[in-house]
């Protein structure tokens, strides 16, 4: 009976002392508390990134002092990133191919675009794969920026080349695209909020489709 009483007293002491030690001002160091802030199209508390109908995940890492750090957003179609803060990044990866024919006017891909991008500085990276078109392809990143450049490595019909393109400017072209791959990264500084998109079309107008494959993706990270 005496031993049981001693065990009970020790259990009460540990139960009362340990929470105090684990607190922000306790004797033991605190640790980050990771918590989800929303899943699904309707999710998103104040200050979080919001997404479209195919939103996959919004997650925030919250430190012990309650300050939010980097967040990630994954989409399979156009992403609304109105709440994007410094350190946040968003990725769009297509789940279905898009085909275009008889056009040489580059317009935004229906999937690979970020809407309501806040004023700030951003790093852009991408991987694109085109196919099926005798009309070839042309593509560029378009944004409401004051300046921006991208370095892209491209393999066009087995011929590798590197190009520098403006975030608001010149199309990168490929004469025909039975098998084109392009990957690169760049920088853009937005002086006004708006849409950052992958714009593309055929290089020469042709009735045969040029197709942007479902493996293609674009990522945007805010750095300032």
pTM for the full predicted model: 0.70
Radius of gyration of the chain measured on its C-alpha atoms? 25
pLDDT tens digits for range 26-78: 444 444 333 333 333 333 333 344 444 333 334 444 444 555 567 889 999 99
Query: Cα separation of 166 and 188, whole Å?
Result: 9
Strands, sheet with 194-201, edge to edge from the N-terminal-most edge strand: 79-80, 107-117, 194-201, 137-142, 172-174
Q: pLDDT digits over 7-17, tens only?
A: 444 454 444 44
CA-to-CA distance for 100 and 103, rounded, in angstroms? 7
Tell me 177's DSSP state: B
The phi-psi region of residue 63 (left if phi > 0; otherwise alpha if psi is between -120 and 50; otherwise beta) is: beta
């Amino acid at each position: 009976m005496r031993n049981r009483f001693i065990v009970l007293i020790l259990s009460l002491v540990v139960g009362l002392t340990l929470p105090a030690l684990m607190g922000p001002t306790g004797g033991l160091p605190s640790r980050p508390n990771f918590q989800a802030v929303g899943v699904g199209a309707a999710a998103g508390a104040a200050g979080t990134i919001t997404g479209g109908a195919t939103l996959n995940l919004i997650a925030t890492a919250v430190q012990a002092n309650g300050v939010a750090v980097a967040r990630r957003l994954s989409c399979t179609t156009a992403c609304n990133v109105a709440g994007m803060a410094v350190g946040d990044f968003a990725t769009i990866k297509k789940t279905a191919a898009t085909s275009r024919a008889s056009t040489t006017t580059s317009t935004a891909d229906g999937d690979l675009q970020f809407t309501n991008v806040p004023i700030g500085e951003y790093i852009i990276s991408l991987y694109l794969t085109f196919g099926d078109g005798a009309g070839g392809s042309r593509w560029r990143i378009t944004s409401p920026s004051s300046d921006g450049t991208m370095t892209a490595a491209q393999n066009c019909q087995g011929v590798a080349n590197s190009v520098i393109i403006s975030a608001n400017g010149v199309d990168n072209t490929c004469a025909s695209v039975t098998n084109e791959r392009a990957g690169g990264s760049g920088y853009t500084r937005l002086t006004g909020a708006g849409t950052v998109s992958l714009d593309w079309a055929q290089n020469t107008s042709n009735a045969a489709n040029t197709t942007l494959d479902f493996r293609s993706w674009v990522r945007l990270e805010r750095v300032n």
